Chains A and B, each alone.
Chain A
Amino acid sequence: MKRFVELYLALDASTSTLAKVAALKRYLADAPARDAAWAVYLLAGGRPRRAVPTSELRTLACEAASLPEWLFEAGYAVTGDLAEAIAYVLPDPVDRFDEPLADWMEQRILPMRALDAAARREAVLAAWRGLSADERFMFVKLVGGGFRVGVSKLLVQRALAEWSSTEAAGIAQRMMGYTDIDTPPTEASFQALLVEAPHGERGGQPYPFFLAHALPGEPAALGDRGDWLAEWKYDGIRAQVVKRDGQVWIWSRGEELVTERFPEVVAEANSWPNGTVVDGELLAWLPGDAEPAPFALLQKRIGRTKLSKAILAEAPVRLLAYDLLESEGMDRRAEPMHVRRMRLEALGIATSPLLDASDWPALATAREASRERRVEGLMLKHRESPYGIGRTGSAWWKWKVAPLSVDAVLIYAQAGHGRRANLYTDYSFAVWNRAPRDAAEAEAALDAPSGELALVPFAKAYSGLTDEEIRRVDSVIRKTTVEKFGPVRRVRPSLVFELGFEGIQASSRHKSGIAVRFPRMLRIRDDKPLHEADTLDTLKALMEVAT
């Protein structure tokens, strides 16, 4: 594990892509293949299941470091990272365990899930006694299920390609599914990344997803409307459905195998010819409806661990296809978009319709119907574009409608994690239960929070600000803190933000009666006094527009 920890530290310390690739190549050159198999799995996004509950890790850390729980928690709040807090408070090691990464994973960490609490306790404490602070950090990340590192899958693929002198695109394709949670990597699966498999042995292996960029500005800059295919941008789950050898596999965009969750789609794909791979959107769609159901219904279904008859009837799912990656067993990705679409339609698979608006202004008009159609806007794909890998090139654009927005008041703040540890970056927002008459009435309501006029919390957001804005808000939060409970600060409200979100729904689980989707900060409204922030009625009106 020592070598892997050194690699992790090098990757974590450096901000240079070149240096990261160099560190990865050094590791690959030095490490035995079964260790490299695990390193690639973990760095490319593989997440072993949590082997020890984090609450148990905290309790054990307090015990091992002889600290009262509150004092440990105070340190944890400052680091913003449990593994880091544990690594630093534990006493120096008395033993030295230097086993290969694969042994750690397969013989110590993965089996912990099956142990009873007493045996797990012994296993964790023994590991801590034999590891340095950096190794403990890694160990806690691995058993606690929170391992992340600042390298992209693309970077890992590049390093693998350079190190093994193979083509990166081929590695990317073979790496699909490598990080599956239920399939630990082996020396053989690692070696298989580096060589082209004969066609008949590919099984359910999918292709890397091609991703779109957000369109900056107006589409006229893309040139002739006639060169572009326009489709609705559906709000569902992106998926790749593979039909080969009489079997169906469904892969999520996160490269998770989700076949069993969508029996309706499996049933449909069973009728496809072998050697067909389709890219599309999984949507909850009620029979007879012209539009898909809101995302919330799909979310409800995903949330269920068991698919009962009732939920299958309440939230039936279907696939709306938009691309064809393989047909008749042939890789079609290099063919032009319009040819792939033609093949897809010829197969008789339900396909996302193209918009026929003849010029950009007409398309812009059509796009305005996005909300009624429960879509996020439009996708623009170049007619001649091949199906690429990841977020590369400029052939696919998402042209979303402007988000819904309200002006809301910041009322609580919590420190972030990782790079944002110790900075207050996660905020809770509220709107007024009714419009205050004037500034004085709003101020009075803040002083006596139990009155009739009140702020109602309705959303949390943590993205959208620049580093500079975050520092500014952080300093206001520290100065206006009224109360601290644990890591959360309640502030005397003084800042108004324009909050954007994609969807809005009635919700009995939220105090405000409203749930918003993808809330984020669009800007700080320094021009807006507190009493002019929006009200619950504003939100309710948006709900009517949006649904």
Chain B
Amino acid sequence: MPDLVTRQPQGLFCEPGGFYIDPWLPVERAVITHAHADHCRPGHGAYLAQRDALGLMRARLGDDAPLEGLAYGEARRIGDVTISLHPAGHVLGSAQVRIEHHGEVWVVAGDYFVSGAGDCNTTCAPFEPVRCDVFVTESTFGLPIYRWAPQAEVLDEMRAWWAGCAAEGRHALLMGYSLGKAQRLLAGLATADAPGPVFVHGAVARLNEAYREAGVALPEVPTITPEMNFKALHGALVIAPPAVQGSRWARAMGPHSDAFASGWMRLRGARRRRGVDRGFVFSDHADWPGLLSAIAATGAQRIIVTHGDEGALVRYLTELGLQAEAFATEFGDETHGGVEGEAT
């Protein structure tokens, strides 16, 4: 039987279904794993995605985009195949795409995060392994140096840093990608025992609305406005996208300490290059043990590795006795924290 999914110039293509998954060039019919810009691009004829992702996609693609939603687990016949979407734990509405064709099952996971003990994320459904014959996996953090501490611990470190700032009469500026990361941070930090008030940047606030519309109970916090007087506040935490670093916007906060939350902050070099006071290792992607456990849980004998450290993961899986190969995709960025990858 020919491969159910192949790499075409436009993207990953399922021929018997007649659709592409997260294509990078315009196509007639796209199935989208999640709303990050490198996976959900404009210009396709029709979009199918998990229904909680639709609000985020609309924020990105405009109100007229031809979007259609599926619930997790809901089956849909397309062409000659049956597809269903399953939680990937990455951001709101992120989904693994399960494709069944004449009894053969492929799963294209997109980006995913595998929760361990101490990872409590209330902003999206946790990753669920799906049994399959062929598993298409990301490898953003596909090296054994990437091992995450439980997120509850990292949130504690953030709170300690924030409390320290407050004690020194400074504010705290915590930067993270505005779709997904910012909501995780907000839910984890805007708690009753917080050391000070929490604010969000306008870009984060817009996406928070899409989360709330999908039924996620995010803490209600004010949005920063140009008229805000930071001098009247004590120990504020501001959650903002990475682009504000060093901007006039950030200077308007007055004395503050800045920090960046990303898996790339594992690397001391990346941390120092970014030039922030603190780098917190806090990712929406699976770490090395997470990737290996996810792959094992699928029971798949054939693994196709996309964006990240394909080479290392393919070789390692091959040495474990699995059939492994790589697809060159245009998701994410090959460099380790060298350039700000969007969905980290």
Measuring CB to CB, which residues of chain A are less than 8 angstroms from any residue of chain B?
Answer: 12-15, 65, 67-68, 70-72, 74-75, 78-81, 84-85, 88-89, 417-423, 474, 478
Contacts and interface: CB of A to CB of B under 8 A. Distances in A.
20 contacts: A12-B272, A15-B275, A65-B144, A67-B144, A71-B144, A74-B143, A74-B311, A74-B312, A78-B145, A79-B268, A80-B269, A89-B147, A418-B268, A418-B269, A421-B270, A422-B270, A422-B335, A422-B337, A422-B338, A423-B269
B309 interface: yes
Contacts of B143: 71, 74-75, 78
Nearest to A22: B168
B144 A72 contact: yes
Chain B contact residues (Cβ within 8 angstroms of A): what range?
A: 20 to 34
B273 interface: yes
A88 B146 contact: yes
B159 interface: no
B315 A70 contact: yes
Nearest to A14: B277
Contact of A12 (B268, B337, B338): B268
A13 B274 CA distance: 11
B132 interface: no
A84 to B, nearest CB: 6
A88 B338 contact: no
Interface string B265-301: 0111111110101110000000000000000000000
A13 B279 CA distance: 8
B144 A15 contact: no
Contacts of B74: none
A85 B288 CA distance: 14
Contacts of B336: 78, 422
A85 B146 CA distance: 10
Interface of B: 143-147, 266-273, 275, 277-279, 309, 311-312, 315-316, 319, 334-338
Contacts of A13: 271, 277-279
A74 B269 contact: no
A88 B147 contact: yes
Contact of B267 (A12, A14, A70, A422): A422
Contacts of B312: 71, 74
A305 to B, nearest CB: 35
Contacts of B315: 70-71
B266 to A, nearest CB: 7
A478 B319 CA distance: 28
Contacts of A80: 269
Contacts of A74: 143, 309, 311-312
Contacts of A15: 275, 277
A89 B141 CA distance: 13
Given A13-B277, A65-B144, A75-B143, A84 B309 contact: no
A468 to B, nearest CB: 13
Nearest to B266: A88
Nearest to B268: A84
Given A15-B275, A88-B147, A419-B272, A71 B267 contact: no
Nearest to B264: A422
B258 to A, nearest CB: 10
B145 A75 contact: yes
Nearest to B311: A74
A497 to B, nearest CB: 21
Contact of B145 (A12, A68, A70, A89): A89
A478 B268 contact: no
Given A68-B319, A422-B336, A422-B338, A75 B144 contact: yes
Given A78-B267, A422-B337, A423-B269, 16 more contacts: A12-B268, A13-B278, A15-B275, A68-B319, A72-B144, A74-B312, A75-B143, A75-B145, A79-B268, A81-B269, A84-B145, A84-B267, A88-B146, A88-B147, A89-B147, A421-B270
Contacts of A72: 144
A211 B334 CA distance: 44
Contacts of A14: 277
B269 A420 contact: yes
B78 to A, nearest CB: 38
Contacts of B269: 79-81, 417-423
A330 B145 CA distance: 57
Contact of B316 (A71, A79, A89, A474): A71
Contacts of A12: 268, 272
A75 B143 CA distance: 6
Choose among A12, A70, A74 the residue with the greatest number of B CB atoms under 10 Å from its CB. Answer: A74
A84 B268 CA distance: 8
Contacts of A84: 145, 267-268
A152 B275 CA distance: 19
B145 A81 contact: no
A79 B338 contact: no
